[in-house]
Structure 1
Amino acid sequence: LTITGLIILGIVITSGGGPDHHSIGFQFWRHPGPFTQYNDITGSKGRFLGFWAVLTQAAFSYIGTEIVAIAAGEARNPRRNIPRAIKKVYIRILLFYLGGTFIIGLLVPSTDPSLRLGSGVGKSPFVIAIRNAGIPALPSIINACLLTAASSAASSDLYTASRAIYGLALTRSAPQVFARTTARGLPYVAIGFTALFGALAYMSLSKGAGNVFNYLVDLSAASGLLTWLGIDILYIRFYAGLKAQGISRSSLPWTSRFNTGAAAAWYSAVWIVVILFFSGFNVFLDDSWDVGTFVTDYLPIWLFPVLWVGWKLVKRTHFMRADEMDFLSGLEEVEAASYDEPPPKNFVERVWRTIM
């Protein structure tokens, strides 16, 4: 609701509906333009580096769209509800992510000095646009809404991370203490351990709050990109297993209408690797070396394979061939838990089902 209201408000402001009645239109697309120079590097090289420098932040913004798959293990009627939820992810990306970014590009120029205030909500382009339009009191209300949205995102991240650790513990890939649950099945140890990392946010209270915030964003973005890379690799292996065992794609409960095979996963994986390895290019420029930036950009890249190789060496596990993959274990339980939900009885139920 918050982002929908902000998009509508942004359209009103850029169309001249603010108190100053100034129509912005696409003037910021002409000056300073959609591409800005990176630091003091001029020309096409500077514009390209300016674009490349924000890819990590862009990835950070999209991280979390895969949470729906993690929730599948606890969802009711997953064969029906998970495909419905995944279809809505595309709508949210197009409307909220891309739509919101488009409106921000209309409202605030990249040269606005308020964008460099630090890491607080006052740095939000929407808040800056509302303040520039001369709308009193509303920026404080938007700040409160953004803090509420941030709390929701934190809850989702806490759920995702704790369930991942809990799942690893169930397969004996993590200490068994994380498999402990309450009588109602809540993995309290995994949740408590995950919540401890939230204390890192207090680092932003120091004088270098902006730098700390950027470090946390870079670290989270690199970890998220590695998660996406893992999803790509898993899909490539999954597709190879289906092909090796003669399982038709049409037999799956839900498939994408675009049958690209493993090509899309390969395309995604290659670009993720490229972005990861060049994400910290700025520290290699003249007089730009920063230990914190280098560590947060590249630590996850090396930590992930080290842990994976270490596990292989210690546990002496072998690589599973495509024809050895097990696609049947647990299938009967999933099918038994599936059912056809009754059709909506009235208009309110139809609207609710469409939204949810």
Structure 2
Amino acid sequence: MAMIAIGGAIGTGLFVGSGGALANGGPVGLWLAYCIMASMVFSMMVALGEMATLFPVAGAFTHYAARFVDPALGFAVGFNYWYSWAITTPTELVASAIVISYWDAKTNPAVYITVTLVLVWLVNFFGARAYGECEFWFSAIKVVTIVGLIILGLVLMCGGGPNHDPIGFRYWRNPGPFNQFAAGDGVVGGRWGQFLAFFSVFTQAAFSFIGTEIVATTLGEAQNPRRTVPRAIKRVFYRLVIFYVFGIFFISVLVPYTDSRLLDSSGAGTAKASPFVIAIENAGIKGLPSVVNAVILVSAWSAGNSDVYAASRTWYALALQGQAPKIFRYCTKNGLPIWSIVWTAAFGVLAYLNTGGDKAVQAFNWLYNISAISGLLAWWAILFSYLRFYYGLKRQGLSRDSHPYKAPWQPYLSWYGIISFTIIMLFNNFGVFLKGNWNASNFVASYITIPIFAVCWIGWKVAKRTKFVPLDEIDFVSGRRELDEMEELDREIYAPTKWYERWSSYLF
């Protein structure tokens, strides 16, 4: 479970996308933004952890939104989350084809899109066990790679590379800790321009962390969910902080934000644009760029697997709650929601839009941009649901001390997270409002998801005449007794007895 969550969050955003963030914000701006974003993600994960520990049910946060807030919110969250991952699947397939072009630029990308698409379908149609096995090993590859790159970063920083150049904090001093924010044909000068450049990194940082919550979509099929899923949610954050905070730190010190290769469109999506590879090339190390590109390929294909899995299980949960057609409730004898997978996996063919000319590519990019903010909306909804959960317990005089897991620093930490995510969503593309930067297409693509979410919420509310669940009437009882009994049985069945089982249990 922990490896699935880690694999969902360590991807091309860390290996490649961080380069664009460095170019926009500067080294200190990049590192601070990722550190602060990590704290926001922590606020969301611990809140999700407490709810998931108490009620590890299919649908997870779509269920919590419907149960603790309003069934209409559950539908809006579920539909937007499903759409976000369903439409991201073809983007990962396209990313895989772009990554392969690092080695083979002559073959039509449609060939590699077809190969990766079929592989994604096969893994998901073989069920949760096949998906879990693949993601475990893919996540292990990504973890080993990022740990190796962090160690290499420390060596290069101290002058241990072939060129024996001790970089230290040279690039924090020159060209400087912060970039200036670009507006029109010029830049916004002074401290204000530096702050705007720093703030612009938050959206990119958020997109890098999106996927951390994906482990919650496994609740309906996980063995011993009361133990494995909450433990994964609690532990995975600290591992991600190590990978992201340390990984981003070494990126910030090893590559100047003025390096043109960070934004070189000819290498976009491949190892050519990775700040890790740029640092390796600057140090004079040969061979490693292809290794990093191979890991980026694994990351993109792994993300495609996770996208189909998360989206299909979300759609299945909507069907269980009566918010999607009944046919999608059907499962095979092995518990596989086959029609939800078929419906979701079909969106993968949209990847071929990227091979169909400029207008098709533009349509494809629009679909992706519309879905991009949905991950932040899901985090916002998780925290909103948790606050209602928290205040509902308080109103009914129920103590959180008896819960298997109790989120720390509540409700203040959740308020911090929900306010922060609200600000980032509202200002995710603030640059279009500055003089000389207005672009109607970019504005609509950046903000259309918010009204779509509102329309889903209000539309379902009006159509089904749902109501906000009063704090006094929130149900904290249904299903809990059965889950408590299952937990006792699972504790006996899955208790580690050998030393290596206990060690593996702690590590993963």
Q: Measure the CA separation in 2 of the matches of 1:135 and 1:220.
A: 39
Shift of 1:270: 1.5
Shift of 1:344: 3.5
Q: Indicate how the Cα distance of structure 1 residues 322 and 75 shifts in structure 2: closer, same or farther if over 3 A, else same.
A: same
Q: Measure the CA separation in 1 of the matches of 2:229 and 2:338.
A: 25
Q: 2:111 matched to which residue of 1?
A: none
For the residue of structure 2 that corresponds to 1:74, the secondary structure is coil
Q: Which of 261, 264, 285 is the aligned partner of 1:114?
A: 261
Q: Which of 300, 314, 331 is the aligned partner of 1:150?
A: 300
Q: Indicate how the Cα distance of structure 1 residues 219 and 107 shifts in structure 2: closer, same or farther if over 3 A, else same.
A: farther
Q: Which of 53, 59, 67 is the aligned partner of 2:206?
A: 59
Shift of 1:175: 2.3
For the residue of structure 2 that corresponds to 1:247, the secondary structure is coil
Shift of 1:220: 4.4
Q: 2:179 matched to which residue of 1?
A: 36
Q: Which of 299, 306, 331 is the aligned partner of 2:448?
A: 299
Q: Measure the CA separation in 2 of the matches of 1:140 and 1:220.
A: 31
Report matched runs for 1:279-298 at 5 Å.
279-298=428-447
Shift of 1:90: 2.2
Asked if the contact 1:56–1:218 (Cα under 8 Å) also holds between the matched residues in 2, the reply is: no
Matched, 1:342 2:489: no
Could you tell which deviates more after superposition, 203-212 or 139-148? Answer: 203-212
Q: Indicate how the Cα distance of structure 1 residues 32 and 297 shifts in structure 2: closer, same or farther if over 3 A, else same.
A: same
Shift of 1:202: 5.0
Q: Which has the higher contact order (CA 8 A, sep 6+)?
A: 2
The TM-score normalised by the length of structure 1 is 0.91
Q: What letter is aligned with 2:421?
A: I
Q: What letter is aligned with 2:415?
A: W
Q: 1:135 matched to which residue of 2?
A: 285
Q: 1:84 matched to which residue of 2?
A: 231
For the residue of structure 1 that corresponds to 2:211, the secondary structure is coil
- 1:189-230 deviation line (CA, Å, top 9, x unaligned): 222332344445555566799999986775444111101110
The TM-score normalised by the length of structure 2 is 0.65
Asked if the contact 1:241–1:322 (Cα under 8 Å) also holds between the matched residues in 2, the reply is: yes
Q: Measure the CA separation in 2 of the matches of 1:225 and 1:282.
A: 19
- 1:135-182 deviation line (CA, Å, top 9, x unaligned): 112101110012112222222222212111110111111222322322
Asked if the contact 1:56–1:221 (Cα under 8 Å) also holds between the matched residues in 2, the reply is: no
Q: 1:233 matched to which residue of 2?
A: 384
Q: Indicate how the Cα distance of structure 1 residues 276 and 157 shifts in structure 2: closer, same or farther if over 3 A, else same.
A: same
Asked if the contact 1:60–1:220 (Cα under 8 Å) also holds between the matched residues in 2, the reply is: no
Q: Measure the CA separation in 1 of the matches of 2:425 and 2:339.
A: 32
Matched, 1:105 2:252: yes
Number of aligned pairs? 353
Give RMSD over aligned pairs. 2.4
Q: 1:24 matched to which residue of 2?
A: 167
Q: Indicate how the Cα distance of structure 1 residues 173 and 229 shifts in structure 2: closer, same or farther if over 3 A, else same.
A: same
Q: Indicate how the Cα distance of structure 1 residues 304 and 276 shifts in structure 2: closer, same or farther if over 3 A, else same.
A: same
Q: Which of 251, 266, 287 is the aligned partner of 2:415?
A: 266
For the residue of structure 2 that corresponds to 1:351, the secondary structure is helix
Q: Measure the CA separation in 2 of the matches of 1:114 and 1:212.
A: 27
Asked if the contact 2:350–2:364 (Cα under 8 Å) also holds between the matched residues in 1, the reply is: no
- 1:27-62 deviation line (CA, Å, top 9, x unaligned): 111112221001111111211111121211110011
Matched, 1:177 2:327: yes
Asked if the contact 1:168–1:174 (Cα under 8 Å) also holds between the matched residues in 2, the reply is: yes
Structure having the larger proportion of residues in helix: 2
